[in-house]
């Protein structure tokens, strides 16, 4: 799923979908993210990587991840069958696969290992962020990265797209520091922060590889 298009309640979806993470209308969403490939590259996804797009929604970023990963592969995971159908139609690349499942139980459907777990515009709605971080850590390769795209911690009234405020309610928005604190118990350490104009940032974190780890993410080989 992506980000809540309005502060009002969403139409109920499959049980287990995170609150305030309904898929936005395509018109303003694509206006906000006109070049997803550039975003993905700025966040360090490159050829040969094994990538999980967690809560992939309609595949807007999944398709970009597949193009940037090249000889690698991308798996999109979401709990909404209707959105997965749209994602499959958007990303016909043979290296792109989709799975129906719960983000809190990633290993059950997407055991990995992955070089990157990518999560865009959804983390703010996760009720148990520490548990999610542990689930992500369990499927990352040694030295792998968790990439989180979040709305900036600004008042919703300030994040205007096509003439209207967009994104989650102000109270749900997290600073990079608050995001890192929420996942630190899973062993993640900050690697770098990327500003994604106009209203987002990308936080890249990793779990330091054990000294005897023999496998590293593709871009580091």
For the residues of 12-29, what is the DSSP string, one character each? P-STTPPTT-PPPPHHHH
d(CA 77, CA 98): 6
Query: Which residue, among 8, 10, 5, has the nearest Cα to 25 in the 3D structure?
Result: 5
Cβ(204)–Cβ(195) below 8 Å = no
174 to 180, 200, 201: CA distances (angstroms): 10, 11, 10
Lowest mean pLDDT among 14-28, 98-112, 144-158: 14-28
Cβ(133)–Cβ(186) below 8 Å = yes
Q: Which of 3.40.1160.10, 3.40.640.10, 1.10.3720.10, 3.40.50.150 is the CATH number of 26-209?
A: 3.40.50.150
* DSSP code per residue over 59-79: SHHHHHHHHHHTTSEEEEEES
Residue 169: DSSP 8-state: -
**What is the reported pLDDT for 219?**
47
d(CA 102, CA 162): 32
pTM value is 0.86
Domain locations in the chain as residue ranges: 26-209
State both tokens at 184.
């630190």
What are the pLDDT digits (tens) for 18-42? Answer: 554 456 677 899 999 999 999 999 9
Binning pLDDT at 50, 70 and 90, where does residue 6 land? very low
């Amino acid at each position: 799923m992506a980000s809540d298009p309005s502060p009002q309640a969403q139409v109920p979806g499959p049980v287990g979908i995170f609150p305030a993470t309904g898929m936005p209308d395509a018109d303003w969403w694509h206006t906000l993210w006109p070049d997803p490939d550039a975003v993905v590259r700025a966040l360090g996804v490159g050829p040969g990587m094994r990538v999980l797009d967690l809560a992939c929604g309609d595949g807007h970023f999944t398709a970009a991840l597949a193009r940037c990963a090249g000889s690698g592969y991308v798996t999109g995971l979401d709990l909404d069958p209707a959105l997965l159908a749209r994602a499959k139609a958007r990303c016909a690349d043979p290296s792109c696969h989709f799975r129906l499942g719960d983000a809190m139980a990633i290993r059950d459907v997407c055991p990995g290992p992955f070089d990157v777990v990518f999560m865009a515009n959804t983390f703010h709605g996760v009720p148990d962020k520490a548990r999610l971080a542990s689930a992500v850590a369990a499927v990352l390769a040694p030295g792998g990265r968790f990439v989180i795209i979040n709305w900036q911690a600004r008042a919703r009234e300030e994040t205007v797209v096509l003439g209207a405020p967009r994104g989650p309610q102000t109270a749900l928005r997290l600073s990079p520091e608050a995001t890192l604190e929420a996942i630190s118990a899973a062993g993640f350490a900050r690697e770098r922060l990327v500003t994604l104009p106009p209203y987002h940032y990308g936080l890249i974190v990793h779990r330091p590889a054990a000294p005897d780890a023999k496998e590293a993410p593709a871009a580091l080989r």
